[in-house]
Structure 1
């Protein structure tokens, strides 16, 4: 790998870790439940991107499959939490 690509991967990992920290703080200190759901939604998205960057840096396909699973589980859980906050029940 070239030096420029390596430095870009390190920089993106640092930025994604910083974003995860900010989402974690909002998840803990959020004034309302909607803020916490939004922080959780953003947190799984950033975690998925972090795993994709790790997959690029290690050159392994396994990381991409893990990121796909995180995306699917995160999407379904966000829908369930939003429906619970809107109606008070998940299953009708």
Structure 2
């Protein structure tokens, strides 16, 4: 078992712990932070897989996913701040 496999298993375990917090979170903000953490851990997994399989094109996918994760966080924050959809 290589160090990369161990790292991926640790990421999967921590992601499952965060997923529990997203499902059972006491507040909406805990759930949003949990979803952001899952997105960040997914990006880390893609980067590690890119390194292991020597596929630099996966880094582009990870960068795109990071941008979408950031934009999603901004959109959800604006939605919560305004109290819903405004016309």
Aligned partner of 1:40 in structure 2 is 35
For structure 1, the residue ranges without an aligned partner over 5 or more in a row are 1-5
Deviations 1:5-63 (A, max 9, x none): x7211111011111211121111111111000000011100000001001011110121
Task: Give the match for residue 52 of structure 2.
Answer: 57
**TM norm structure 2:** 0.90
Provide the aligned length of Structure 1 versus Structure 2: 87
Q: Give 5+ residue unaligned stretches, structure 2.
A: none
In structure 1, distance between residues paired with 2:9 and 2:48: 11
Aligned residue runs from structure 1 range 58-77, under 5 A = 58-77=53-72
Contact residue 44 and residue 74 of structure 1 kept, 8 A: yes
Residues 8 and 90 of structure 1, relative CA distance in 2, 3 Å threshold: farther
Q: RMSD in angstroms over aligned alpha carbons?
A: 1.7
